Structures are given as C-alpha cells and as structure tokens.
Amino acid sequence: MLFSRGDVESVQLLMNKMRRFGDCSGLRVSMEKSNLYAAGISRDDLEAIKFISGFSEGRFPFRYLGLPVASTKLTIAQFHPFTDRIAGYLNAWAGMKLSYAGRCELIRSILQGVECFWLASLYIPAGIRDRLIRMCRNFLWGGQCYVFKKKALVAWESILSRPDQIKTRPRKSNYSNAKKSTPK
C-alpha cells in the first residue's frame, strides 16, 4: 500500500521511483491486483492520475490486512464481519466440553487478541463493543454465543483483570455446616 498526495506531480514521482525499483530488482507491480483509491480530489486530477499510474479505480470501503478501509467513518454494518468472526470462534468452541477456566483463557488469549488488533487501527463504536462483551460473557457462563440463561458466578470486570485480582463472594447455602444437636 502506497500513499501519495492527490496531485499529478506526486503520483508521477512515485510511479517513476517504482519503475526504477523494478529495473533494479526485477520486481514489477501486478496491475491486475492493484487499484487506485482517491478521496477529496477533483475528477480531472483523478483521470490524470489513473492515466499516469495505469491502475484501475477502486471503491471504498475495501479490506486491507483484514481491516475495512473507508474514506469516512465506518458504519455499524461494516463491523459485521468482525462480530461474525468472533461469533464463529465462539460457536466452534461451544461444542467442546470446556471448563470455566478454559473458556476464560480462550476469551483472553484469542478473542481479546483479535479485538486488540482491530482497536489498534479502528475506533469501535460502543454498540459493537457492548455486543462483543455480551457474546463473550454468554460464552463464558453459558457455553454459547447468543443464548444465556445462567446467573454469572463472577463479575465480568473481574474476568478481564489478572487472575490474582479476581474476587468472588461465597454463595448463600440452604444447608448449614453446623451439626444439629438432638435433645438428650
């Protein structure tokens, strides 16, 4: 991926350098796999740049390294591949007989790694973030991505913290540990 100012001179300089690099290294740009993406430039400049580069014009949004790239803020619908990928992981793991600790480790290592990859590059809207948290929480306590009817045993915030910081409260029991005494 190469970036340039949207003027003819910059693109001409860039293309000359790419041709010179190709002459020295023997590597060439694949014109069939290459596209030109432009935003905020005049139609005349765009046509001149297309002529100089020889690239066809691509349309926003497109995907680069698995991330959507757009000229404007991404819509909620454009985050569906991301949430679908997380749901796919969760649904694949739902059939396994995993303990709470195993599910917790999968959430921490795999899912939050995927989320961090996206967060490093994009702003994720609160609605998408809440949906991801809800899916992970449902998987942790219920073993499934979307259906959840069990009461959580530990606060979700403590799952995201270090294991030595997890605080649990003992559950109330209907049974007493004290021995019942019988009258003599």
Q: Is residue 2 part of a domain?
A: no
User: 88 and 19 in one domain?
Assistant: no
53, exposed or middle or buried, with CB in 10 Å at 0-12, 13-18, 19+? Answer: buried
> Is the separation of the CB atoms in 34 and 50 below 8 Å?
no
99 token code pair? 């303990």
Those residues with Cβ within 8 angstroms of residue 12's Cβ, 6 or more apart along the chain or in another chain:
52
Residue pointed to by tokens 């306590």:
141
User: 87 and 37 in one domain?
Assistant: no
* Banded pLDDT at 26 (limits 50, 70, 90): very high
9 token code pair? 């001179």
100 token code pair? 């709470």
User: 101 and 27 in one domain?
Assistant: no
- Residue 56 has phi, psi (to 5 degrees) of -85, 155
User: 45 and 85 in one domain?
Assistant: no
Q: Is residue 110 part of a domain?
A: yes
What confidence tens digit (pLDDT) does each residue in 142-181 have? 877 765 555 666 666 666 665 554 444 444 444 444 444 4
Task: Please count the other Cβ atoms lying within 10 Å of the Cβ belonging to residue 115.
Answer: 19
Segment 82-88 mean pLDDT: 85
User: 105 and 38 in one domain?
Assistant: no
Q: Is residue 67 part of a domain?
A: no
User: 92 and 44 in one domain?
Assistant: no
> Is the separation of the CB atoms in 2 and 14 below 8 Å?
yes
Segment 16-35 mean pLDDT: 91
User: 89 and 25 in one domain?
Assistant: no
User: 133 and 53 in one domain?
Assistant: no
Whether 113 has a pLDDT exceeding 90, the answer reads no
Q: Is residue 176 part of a domain?
A: no
pLDDT at 98: 85
User: 152 and 97 in one domain?
Assistant: yes
pLDDT at 14: 92
Closest to 79 (Cα-Cα) out of 130, 149, 42: 130
- Residue 64 has phi, psi (to 5 degrees) of -135, 120
User: 104 and 34 in one domain?
Assistant: no
Q: Is residue 71 part of a domain?
A: no
User: 91 and 137 in one domain?
Assistant: yes
Q: Is residue 126 part of a domain?
A: yes
Cα angle 89, 99, 115 (rounded to 5 degrees) comes to 35
What confidence tens digit (pLDDT) does each residue in 31-73 have? 888 899 988 889 999 999 999 998 988 888 888 877 778 888 8
Domain count along the chain: 2
Containing domain of residue 154, as a range? 76-165
pLDDT at 174: 45
Segment 93-113 mean pLDDT: 82
Q: What is the mean pLDDT of the chain?
A: 78
| 63 bridge partner residues | 68
Q: Is residue 174 part of a domain?
A: no
Segment 120-137 mean pLDDT: 83
Cα 169 from Cα 177, distance rounded (Å) = 17
Q: Is residue 151 part of a domain?
A: yes
pLDDT at 177: 44
